[in-house]
Amino acid sequence: MVKCGIGLILHSYDAAEIELHFFLITKHRGKTTESDEMIPKLFNRSEIPYNKMWQNDRFTLPKFLSGRLCVALFTIDRDKSLAAAPKIKVVPVLPETIDWQSYEF
């Protein structure tokens, strides 16, 4: 498991912020199990169902799969759609956390 990104989701309708830490797992042993948020399923890269995923995944996942590290900022509406264009910065090293008010994208 390798940390490949850090992000922040802002809500356009209130002051809530959600900080995300993204990890990429390329090999595993054992049995994968279903959770409240996911039913595990393998896909070829060309068949990843972005239309069934969070909108921000289509911006970050291709970068993670190509080995790049990213810092991202997303603003979403009540219906969970993107309220603004995402801000994504490919970085050589990920910070532990970010002061989002002063971070330069």
At 41, the pLDDT band (50, 70, 90 cuts) reads: confident
- pLDDT above 90: residue 40: no
Q: What is the pLDDT of residue 10?
A: 92
> How many percent of the chain have pLDDT more than 70?
100
2-24+43-91 has CATH 3.90.1150.10 classification:
no
Alpha carbon distance 24, 26 (integer Å): 6
48-71 pLDDT per residue, tens: 999 988 888 999 999 999 999 999
Does residue 85 register a pLDDT over 80? yes
